[in-house]
Amino acid sequence: MPGYDGTESHLRCVLPFEAAPAEVRLLRLATAQQLSRWGASLATDEAELLVTELATNVVKHVGEGALATLIVEWKGERLRLEVHDKSPVMPTLRAAGCGDECGRGLHLIEALAVDWGAVVTAAGKAVWCELQLDRRGPCRRIERAVQALENYENVAWQPRQRGRPQATHRVESAVELIADLLHYTSARGHGPDDILDRAHLHYEAEAA
């Protein structure tokens, strides 16, 4: 079963899997869903490619049916992907152009990731790589929030806020907008606490 751990310093998801082509597809989907929950959707395409190569290497070089684990971790400005398996055989980055069986996946990982490597573990080995996340994510969110509040205030401007400082007015408008969104999501069967928890996870992921 998938495991999840989140703190203010980092977010981490653990996904055990069985080495098989069908499981690789499920891992891509699970990774995309997890990044969406964390507010890191911009990294989805590259992360899916890397997960595909890491997991496919287990299928090819450890064997179908082998038990392995994918760990997705967001810490600071980097997204780290790790695949743990029970084989002690370390991967080798060989000369490009020597065929699919001798390191094509590792060449792709090296090209996409800002860093990668492999380490021996007590149970076998772990192959890992890291993606640099977009530093402007929180800035874009702030820009979108300002635009949303400006549009919201044009529709739901409240006379009782006349005379207040703009900063105070804008904060009160943000509170009213959040309340309206909770009514909207609640009417569609989503609990307010769950929506707020998910939004808080997105915020913590980018604030970290």
Q: What is the pLDDT of residue 98?
A: 46
Q: According to CATH, what is the number of the domain 3-132?
A: 3.30.565.10
Q: What pLDDT is attached to residue 88?
A: 92
pLDDT at 165: 44
**Grouped pLDDT means (10 residues each) for the chain, 208 residues:** 51 95 94 89 89 93 94 92 95 56 68 91 95 67 74 66 55 88 88 86 67
CATH 3.30.565.10 boundaries in the chain:
3-132
pLDDT of res. 75: 87
Sheet with 67-75, strands from edge to edge, namely: 3-6, 10-18, 67-75, 78-85, 125-132, 115-120
Q: What is the pLDDT of residue 95?
A: 44
